[in-house]
Structure 1
Amino acid sequence: MELHRIGENTFYFDNPSIIGLYLFESNNVLLIDTGIDKDTIKKAIKIIEEKNWKIKYIINTHSHADHCGGNYYLLEKYDIAVYASSLEKVMIENSILEPAYLYGAYPQKKLQKKFLMAKSSKVSHVVEYGELIIENKKFDIIDLKGHSPQLIGVVTDDDICFLGDSIFPDYIIEKHNLLFLFDYKNTVNTLNCLKDEKHEKYVLSHGGVIENLEPVIDYNIKALKEVNDYIFSLLTDYKSIEDIHRSVVNNYEIRENLPQFYLNISVIKAHLTYLVDEKIIINSIIDSEVKWKINNK
């Protein structure tokens, strides 16, 4: 793990899920997300302590385990203020809810692993959209919901915009095809709204630093629409979730383990929610199954 400077006071640690860092004049440090677990954040701590900086603050963009998994260890080690949006706070503090909402009940132990479920940890401050002042420095908190219920972005006073998982680079999309999202409509709305966010640099949690965001936005919207259109195309007659899932994973040549199975089912349901709420498709209970079909009315 290495620390990279991208603004006067703004840095990031290269990591599969990027950890942002802002350095105050006091040598106190704000982290933007904390990685997936103790081992990951310990690597960042080593670099920070070698510089005689002190970790005092965390902003979590959202509650997924690879973004808040280091929180509990940091809170055991330091006196830290933790900031998150109100809905994500609930999930961070009660991490069993992450696999529970994917599974639809108390999750089996195979789903209670660090990939889906961080260790629960306390969030001390709920952030609102707009201006957040810490040590007389201004951070802008932006609404990026869609990938998760209340995902936020963070803009530092160096005009560096941390975008969490609201947007992905093309190579991630080409690798995974079926991008995780909680809410299809809000994901696309967020991407369109990002066209109005003009900043010096943008940090994608799973894509590094970029300066030209618009082509990446367009690629994300196109990829999401292609999946949505494909699901729609399957529904010339009534199909169950299992039917749709089978077609999707075969079409995109997706190999699944148990957590990935439930993640993909959740994504498909998010697409179906959009289609049924927009009255593009209908659903009905047939032979004790919920089935979905194009609305021909």
Structure 2
Amino acid sequence: MELARLTERVLWVRGPANVGVILLDNSKVALIDSGCDQQFAKKLFELLSDYRFKVSHILNTHAHADHIGGNSFFQEKCGCKIMASTLEAPTIRQPLIQCAVLFSGAPIGDLMNRFIMANPSQVEVVTANEIKLDELRIEILDLPGHSVNQKGFLVDGVAFLADTLFPDNFFSKQRLPFNYDPNSHTQTLERLRKIEANCFIGGHFQPQNSIGSLIASNLSHLNESLDFMRGLLKTPMPQDRVVKAFLDHYGLKKTNWEYYLYRTMVNGYLSSLHKHGEIKYRVLDNLPVWYAA
């Protein structure tokens, strides 16, 4: 693990989910996300301590466990203030919400694991379009789609884009990124084109000077998934069979708790097309059946 400099005020640490480090006054730093888990956070804390840095703030992009896994560790060690958006903050305070949403009820034990459920932490809600930390202006970017109220941060010419974009090698390995709302995600991808920055970095891609090709690639994969769903539902299909057909199409064999994660994602595709009037559903003999409008 190492600190890499992007600008005079901004550094980053590579990880399963990358972490931004913003230099403030008097050796204080603000983190953009806190790492995937407590073990990563401990190593990051030791690294920052070697530089005599103290974490005063954590700016969370969204409430997924791989981005907030170090929150409670840093809050206990440093007493830092954690900040997040209106709809992400409740899950950071009460991570059980994430499990309940995925299971659509009181969650099974398998879902209550470190990949889904981080330790709870206290968080302050931020509703403004920018914040100032020691007179350093940080613009807040609205990036919903991957998560319900995901945010990014633009500071000192560096745009932290959370989980809006995934590199090509991700699609070759995992095939399909999680999206809570593909419709919102499509709009977010288009808005990314308008962000002016000298450097762009995501939760799962390294710093780049330009993201045009990444946006095009991610839009292409997203549209292919929507097109597949449209074609699939030309024949009416029960919802559980829709989930299976969608996962089969991408060669995804999910077992145990992962199934519920991906079922939620497939439901997001159904919701997006339903919102646009492209598909409908009826409940027949206690089974929801989806079909093209």
TM-score if structure 1 supplies the norm length?
Answer: 0.96
**Is the contact between residue 99 and residue 111 of structure 1 (CA under 8 Å) also seen in structure 2?**
yes
> How far apart, in 1, do the equivalents of 2:143 and 2:257 lie?
25
Instruction: Indicate conservation of the 8 Å contact 1:129/1:142, yes or no.
Output: no
Q: Which residue of 2 aligns with 1:140?
A: 139
Unaligned runs of 5+ in 1: none
Counterpart in the other structure of 2:98: 98
Letter of the 1:182 partner, please give it. Y
Cα distance in 2 for residues equivalent to 1:56 and 1:287 = 56
Amino acid at match of 1:176: Q
Pick aligned residue for 1:206 from 204, 207, 216: 204
Task: Answer whether contact 2:152 2:159 (CA < 8 A) is retained.
Answer: yes
Task: Find the aligned partners of 1:284 and 1:2 in 2 and give their Cα distance.
Answer: 54
Name the CA distance, whole Å, in 1 between partners of 2:275 and 2:11: 42
Kept in 2: contact 1:31–1:57 (CA 8 A): yes
Query: Which SS does the other structure have where 1:73 is aligned?
Result: helix
Q: Which region of structure 1 is more displaced relative to structure 2, 29-38 or 236-245?
A: 236-245
| Equivalent-residue separation in structure 2 for 1:90 and 1:82 (angstroms) | 12
2-structure distance, mates of 1:13, 1:135? 22
Whole-Å separation in 2 of the counterparts to 1:242 and 1:79: 45
Point out the more displaced range, 128-137 or 186-195: 128-137
- 1:154 maps to amino acid: F
Counterpart code for 2:143? L
Post-superposition CA distance 1:70-112 (Å, at most 9, x none): 1111111112111100111111001000011010001111100
Name the residue aligned to 1:73: 73
Compute the RMSD of aligned alpha carbons.
Answer: 1.0
Aligned to 1:119: 119
C-alpha separation between the residues in 2 aligned to 1:258 and 1:209?
34
**Could you say what secondary structure the match of 2:131 adopts?**
strand
SS at match of 1:105: coil
User: In the aligned structure 1, how far is the partner of 2:287 from the partner of 2:142?
Assistant: 36
Per the alignment, in what secondary structure is the counterpart of residue 230 of structure 2?
helix
Q: 2:90 is matched by which residue type in structure 1?
A: V
Q: Which runs of 5+ in 2 are unaligned?
A: none
Letter in 2 for 1:217: I
CA distance in 1, matches of 2:113, 2:161: 25
What is the total number of aligned residue pairs between the two structures?
293
The percentage of aligned residue pairs carrying the same residue is 29
* Secondary structure, aligned partner of 2:289: strand
The answer on whether the counterparts of 1:129 and 1:140 sit within 8 Å (CA) in structure 2 is no
Task: Using structure 2 for the length normalisation, give the TM-score.
Answer: 0.97
Which position in structure 2 is the counterpart of 1:261?
259
State the Cα deviation string for residues 212-261 of structure 1 (Å, max 9, x = none). 11111111111011011111111122101221122122221112132221
d(CA) in 1 for partners of 2:188, 2:234: 30
State the one-letter code of the partner of 1:275.
L
Query: What do the CA deviations read for 1:14-70 (whole angstroms, capped 9, x no partner)?
Result: 101001101113110100001121110111111110111111110000100000011
Which is worse superposed, 252-261 or 8-17?
252-261
- CA distance in structure 1 between the partners assigned to 2:60 and 2:90 by the alignment: 12
Q: 2:157 aligns with which of 153, 159, 162?
A: 159
Distance 2:258 2:226 in 1: 19
Q: 2-side partners of 1:154 and 1:4: how far apart?
A: 18
Which residue is 1:23 aligned to? 23
The AA in structure 1 aligned to 2:255 is N
- Counterparts of 1:88 and 1:165, CA distance in 2: 14
For 1:176-255, list aligned pairs within 5 A: 176-255=174-253
* Cα displacement string for residues 188-209 of structure 1 (whole angstroms, at most 9, x for unaligned residues): 0000011100210011111111
Q: What's the offset of the Cα at 1:129?
A: 4.3
Q: Distance in 2 between matches of 1:3 and 1:191?
A: 28
The equivalent of 1:44 in structure 2 is: 44
2:12 and 2:101 mapped to 1: Cα distance? 31
Q: CA deviation at 1:12?
A: 0.7
Deviates more, 1:138-147 or 1:233-242: 233-242
Runs of 4+ that moved beyond 4 A: none
CA drift of 1:176 comes to: 1.8
In structure 2, do the counterparts of structure 1 residues 142 and 129 end up closer, same or farther at CA, with 3 Å as the change threshold? Answer: farther
